[in-house]
Amino acid sequence: MSDLWVVVPAHQEEARIDGTLRALAAQHDRDFTLVVVDNASTDGTGRIARDFAGRAPFPVHVIEETDKGVGCAGDTAFRYAIARGATAIARTDADCLPRPGWTAAARSALRAPGERMVCGRVDARRDEHGPLGRAAFRTMVAAAALFGRLRPAHARRHGFLAPYRMHAGNNMAITAGLYLRVGGMPRRPSPTDRTFLNRVRRHTADITHAPAMVVENSTRRLRAYGILGTARWYLDKGCGALGEDPR
């Protein structure tokens, strides 16, 4: 069994998870074990994942987490993988499409001795946007990354060992030892990415960017909330009159 595991939290993703699973099956490096976490879904998410497990080119575990929230689902899956021998874990989401070199890039980035976290690059899904839409998405991601670096709360004087780097939970990888040492992902609903990143920043300076780790990200939250609403949501300011789940 591979020491690289891939985690995919999934809640009510009947319409999109098949694309994610097919993208993982198309990886150049398929020497990994997949864990899909059915997070209190009431649709066909779990059934689609279990059907895929019967024909996948790698081992697949489908587990359940009844406490709703991507933090709960992610933490359960990471600990499940580590308990079964994972030394490196990569994560994406069930509405995302990892490009074919994604797992190979994650493995390469985590190969050196020591504990570290790696952040990949996110782009907009090509089946949701044309070139102009994807360019606009990249601009917004760059603006968010700049804001994160300039935000006073993220300054290194607050005990952080590494400078702030934009971290998307749907495109990251981490060594098992570091994951356990920082206490894992916060067991809460989204957003959890920044909180987890800052936990890691308090423990190590070894947080790198891997440009070859590319995931195409669904922008349905951006389309549902708009730019300002999405910014409020990611800053833990709530989503106003909108629900937390934009599906």
154-165 average pLDDT score:
85
CB atoms within 10 A of CB 139: 10
230-242 average pLDDT score:
52
The model scores a pTM over 0.85: yes
Beta bridge partners of 90: 6, 173
What pLDDT, on the 0 to 100 scale, is given for residue 245?
53
User: May I ask the CATH class of domain 4-234?
Assistant: alpha beta
Q: Where do we find the tokens 């994160």?
A: 148
Phi, psi of 189 (to 5 degrees): -65, 175
For 209, residues 6+ apart whose C-beta sits below 8 A from its C-beta are: 118, 119, 120, 121, 165
pLDDT tens across 173-199, in order? 999 999 999 999 999 877 788 889 999
Q: Is 186 left (phi over 0), alpha (psi -120 to 50) or beta?
A: beta
pLDDT tens across 34-89, in order? 999 999 999 999 999 999 999 999 999 999 999 999 999 999 999 999 999 999 99
What distance in Å separates the CA atoms of residue 162 and residue 148, rounded to the nearest whole number?
13
pLDDT tens across 85-106, in order? 999 999 999 999 999 999 999 9
More confident residue, 164 or 35: 35
What pLDDT, on the 0 to 100 scale, is given for residue 10?
97
8-14 average pLDDT score:
96
What are the domain boundaries of the chain? 4-234
Q: How confident is the model at residue 137 (pLDDT cuts 50, 70, 90)?
A: confident
What pLDDT, on the 0 to 100 scale, is given for residue 223?
61
Single-letter code of the amino acid located at 176: A
Is it the case that residue 232 has pLDDT exceeding 50? yes
Is it the case that residue 244 has pLDDT exceeding 60? no
199-224 average pLDDT score:
87
